[in-house]
């Protein structure tokens, strides 16, 4: 979330009266960030603090409405990043509504696992991952690429990725770009900019960024065999809950 927005929200909430009513907290936050913003208030695992979801970010506010805190909340007994757990729920919801027709997928639709990979065609570890795309598929993992040109919208990499998404054969163009070559220039109403902004909103800061169906964000390259083990464990945890 924008730092200025957090600062303004903190100052504004600091001047309010006690706000233990969740609906009142939400209305107050909406008064600053706008009625269109997605805001949800819930209990947090920390006594005296509420968890406030603003868009795709999580912050914490004292239950009297005076203090606001931004950062990660850890349970040191379980070593769980509670903030990331909350963000995983957000990512899971977003991934469920993602238009898969705008992704570039490698592997069968009936694969045992699917990951969405925010990728940059000029990223070294993204290229390494793509070199092993057949191994991921053989391990029962479908890889669906979303665009995340790290240099931003309008960069050289951005335009290269637009050419990939606008190519008649997206798979071939992706493989060409991931091999360090330049695909044939192409232009269309591509989702590259939208996917880049989505990645930023979901907490992507580098590539490759792997997201599981449960909303877990796995930063960086993971070899096919190791990734399969990790995905299996995630499925087992979800089944046990």
The one catalytic residue among 126, 127, 166, 228: 126
Q: How many CB atoms lie within 10 A of CB 25?
A: 21
What percentage of the chain exceeds 70 in pLDDT?
83
| Residues 213, 220: Cα–Cα separation, whole Å | 17
pTM for this prediction: 0.76
Give the least confident one: 26-30, 59-63, 79-83, 84-88: 26-30
120 is a catalytic site residue: yes
Token pair of 181 as six digits: 């070559």
| Residues 86, 80: Cα–Cα separation, whole Å | 11
Look at residue 16 and tell me whether its pLDDT is greater than 90. Answer: no
Token pair of 83 as six digits: 């903030």
DSSP string, 137-194: HHTTEEEEEEE--TT-TTSHHHHHHHHHHTSSSHHHHHHHHHTT--PPP--SS-SHHH
| Residues 217, 203: Cα–Cα separation, whole Å | 8
Handedness of CA 206, 207, 213, 214 (dihedral sign): negative
Instruction: State the pLDDT confidence band at 241, using cuts at 50, 70 and 90.
Output: low
pLDDT (tens digit per residue) in 72-104:
888 888 888 887 888 888 888 888 888 999 999
| Residues 109, 64: Cα–Cα separation, whole Å | 49
The one catalytic residue among 87, 120, 122, 166: 120
Mean local confidence (pLDDT), 45-70: 78
The one catalytic residue among 87, 127, 150, 228: 150
| Residues 20, 23: Cα–Cα separation, whole Å | 9
Instruction: State the pLDDT confidence band at 113, using cuts at 50, 70 and 90.
Output: very high
The one catalytic residue among 123, 127, 166, 228: 123
| Residues 75, 83: Cα–Cα separation, whole Å | 10
Token pair of 116 as six digits: 């969405």
| Residues 130, 174: Cα–Cα separation, whole Å | 9
Mean local confidence (pLDDT), 126-139: 97
Look at residue 107 and tell me whether its pLDDT is greater than 90. Answer: yes
- Closest to 211 in 3D by CA, of 108, 75, 67, 100: 100
HEC assignment per residue over 57-94: EEEEEECCCCCEECCCCEECCCCEEHHHHHHHHHHHHH
188 is a catalytic site residue: no
The helices-and-strands tally (H runs, E runs) of the chain is 9, 11
| Residues 51, 58: Cα–Cα separation, whole Å | 7
106 backbone dihedrals φ, ψ, rounded to 5°: -120, 125
Name 145's bridge partners.
Answer: 104, 117
If residue 10 lies in a helix (H) or strand (E), which one and from where to where? helix 3-14
pLDDT (tens digit per residue) in 148-163:
999 999 999 999 999 9
């Amino acid at each position: 979330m924008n730092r200025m927005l957090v600062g303004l929200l903190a100052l504004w909430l600091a001047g309010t009266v006690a706000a233990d009513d969740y609906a009142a907290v939400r209305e107050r936050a909406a008064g600053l960030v706008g009625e269109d913003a997605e805001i949800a208030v819930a209990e947090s695992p920390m006594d005296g603090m509420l968890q406030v979801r603003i868009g795709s970010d999580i912050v914490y506010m004292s239950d009297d409405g005076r203090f606001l805190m931004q950062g990660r909340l850890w349970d040191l007994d379980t070593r769980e990043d509670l903030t990331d757990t909350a963000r995983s729920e957000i990512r899971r919801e977003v991934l469920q509504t993602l238009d898969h027709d705008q992704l570039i997928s490698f592997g069968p639709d009936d694969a045992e696992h699917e990951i969405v990979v925010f990728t940059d065609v000029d990223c070294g570890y993204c290229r390494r991952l793509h070199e092993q795309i057949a191994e991921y598929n053989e391990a029962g993992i479908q890889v669906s690429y979303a665009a995340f040109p790290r240099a931003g919208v309008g960069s050289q990499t951005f335009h290269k990725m637009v050419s990939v998404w606008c190519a008649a054969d997206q798979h071939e163009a992706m493989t060409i770009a991931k091999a360090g070559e330049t695909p044939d220039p192409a232009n269309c109403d591509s989702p590259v900019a939208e996917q880049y902004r989505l990645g930023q909103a979901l907490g992507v800061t580098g590539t490759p960024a792997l997201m599981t169906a449960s909303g877990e964000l796995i930063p960086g390259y993971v070899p096919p065999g190791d990734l399969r083990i990790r995905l299996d464990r995630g499925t087992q945890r979800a089944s046990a809950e």
